[in-house]
């Protein structure tokens, strides 16, 4: 991530509602800055799409963006509540100058954020975000009244996106064999995902699909899967599917309630595509990707390439390699030949298609995948940079790296979206890893 950016993090601008970066006036100014950048790049008067998740504040910020974009002379087309990957899809198919998402993904309802897709449905580069910030430093200046942008509402977006998702997998597969529990996190997938699987023929029980503006991600979805695990076992379902608030990531559970994280999903997709005869030589993961995944892919003749944590870096590496599949163990999976960004629904469909096409359970497909133990804990800090530069913390990290050498690996990194430091240790001895992580957490907390 570039140090030159003041407002943009690893996934757009994000913060607590009512703070400096998540106030209506700032978001209006941000909308103007995006519109001004686009106009100066030759897209004056073209359309910008806006979609949002189910947070109560998303409606307020949607209107703020409309005002800012209109002031810059850009026309606005509103998608309403729509998963983030749906907005990327429509940005591409509508040939829009940009697409904007009002969402804070897996964060609590009283956080919110703004993500921007460039033309073609790809996330902005660091350089584009830096340019928007330069415009943010300027006062808003309205175009002449006759050039103000107009706002339109796109009709039928939900149905169009459902059809797009359904067409991402072979339609001759017997989806009617599957009973699924779908946890929508009371977020943006609530009106889309259950119908995708139902229309393909599966028996679907949807949970956490009644958003009220304040219950998004609240004890549910991909970051809280205990309810899904219990429901899958109670209903004797074949699989459970849990999305995050904006639908760009997914975690699944098998019929026994066993968690299938992003590493497992990547492996299943790799085997499915190889089984269908695809020439798959490279898959992109991150520093957090399990070493067991790397070893298992190697046996399939596939190289795992690691990037910094963040789907934007996964996407950059995919484009650099000309590869098609990559992702994070958080469940943010990119199938670049299906959509231009991580798409939870399409990822889940790939896994279901693997089960049906290979006529195997997920346990059978993943029999050769042996994940090593990863202990990941977070520690809240007031300033991430200061915390990591502290001399006592630096000494503790150096000592821990010496201790774990030859037994595993250590990764300490600041969150890109929250005021926390993530400490992860990986290896085969869980007790040893716990001791390493807890020791580092204590030093960070006390300094």
Cα atoms in the 13 Å half-sphere on the side-chain side of 337:
10
- Which tokens hold the place of 72? 């810059």
Residue 191 has a CB neighbour count (10 Å cut-off) of 18
**Alpha helix positions (H), 338-390:** 344-358, 362-365, 384-389
- φ/ψ of residue 413, rounded to 5: -150, 150
Which backbone phi and psi does 352 adopt, to 5 degrees? -65, -40
Check if the beta carbon of residue 218 is closer than 8 Å to that of residue 227.
no
CA dist., res. 392 & res. 209, Å (int) = 47
* DSSP notation for 181-212: EEE-TTSTTTTTHHHHHHHTT-EEEEES----
DSSP 23: S
Neighbours of 52 (CB within 10 A): 27
> Is 23 one of the catalytic residues?
no
Question: From the candidates 105, 202, 222, 289, which is the catalytic residue?
Answer: 105
Contact, 338 vs 168, CB < 8 A? yes
Count CB-CB contacts under 10 A for residue 348. 28
- Cα gap 343→348, rounded to integer Å: 9
CA distance 66 to 49: 10
Residues with catalytic annotation?
A: 105
């Amino acid at each position: 991530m570039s140090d030159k950016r003041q407002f943009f993090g690893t996934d757009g601008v994000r913060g607590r509602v009512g703070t400096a970066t998540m106030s209506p006036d700032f978001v209006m100014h941000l909308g103007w800055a995006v519109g001004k950048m686009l106009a100066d790049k030759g897209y004056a008067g073209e359309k910008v799409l806006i979609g949002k998740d189910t947070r109560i504040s998303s409606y307020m910020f949607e209107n703020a963006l409309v005002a800012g974009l209109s002031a810059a002379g850009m026309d606005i087309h509103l998608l309403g509540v729509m998963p983030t990957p749906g907005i990327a899809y429509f940005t591409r198919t509508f040939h829009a100058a940009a697409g904007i998402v009002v969402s804070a993904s897996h964060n609590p309802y009283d956080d919110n954020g703004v993500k921007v897709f460039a033309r073609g449905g790809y996330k902005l580069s660091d350089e584009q975000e830096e340019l928007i910030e330069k415009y943010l430093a300027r006062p808003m200046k309205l175009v002449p009244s006759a050039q103000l942008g107009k706002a339109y509402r796109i009709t039928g977006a939900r149905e169009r996106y459902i059809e797009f998702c359904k067409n991402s997998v072979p339609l001759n597969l017997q989806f009617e064999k599957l009973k699924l529990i779908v946890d929508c996190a009371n977020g943006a997938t609530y009106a889309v995902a259950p119908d995708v699987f139902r229309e393909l023929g599966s028996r679907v029980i949807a949970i956490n699909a009644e958003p009220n503006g304040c219950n998004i991600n609240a004890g549910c979805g991909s970051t809280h899967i205990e309810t899904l695990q219990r429901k899958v076992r109670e209903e004797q379902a074949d699989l459970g599917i849990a999305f995050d608030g904006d639908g760009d990531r997914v975690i699944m559970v098998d019929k026994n309630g066993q968690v299938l994280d992003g590493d497992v999903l990547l492996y299943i997709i790799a085997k499915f595509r190889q089984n269908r005869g695809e020439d798959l030589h490279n898959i992109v993961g991150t520093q957090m990707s399990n070493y067991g995944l790397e070893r298992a892919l190697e046996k399939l003749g596939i190289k795992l390439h690691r990037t910094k944590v963040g789907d934007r870096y996964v996407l950059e590496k995919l484009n650099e390699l000309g590869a098609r599949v990559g992702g994070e163990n958080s469940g943010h999976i990119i199938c670049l030949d299906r959509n231009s960004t991580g798409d939870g629904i399409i990822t889940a469909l790939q896994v279901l298609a693997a089960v049906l096409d290979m006529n195997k359970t997920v346990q059978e497909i993943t029999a050769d995948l042996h994940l090593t133990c990863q202990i990941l804990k977070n520690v809240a800090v007031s300033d991430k940079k200061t915390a990591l530069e502290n001399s006592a913390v630096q000494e503790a990290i150096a000592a821990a790296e010496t201790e774990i050498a030859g037994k595993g690996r250590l990764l300490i990194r600041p969150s890109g979206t929250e005021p926390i430091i993530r400490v992860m240790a990986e290896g085969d001895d869980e007790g040893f890893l716990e001791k390493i992580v807890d020791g580092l957490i204590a030093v960070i907390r006390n300094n």
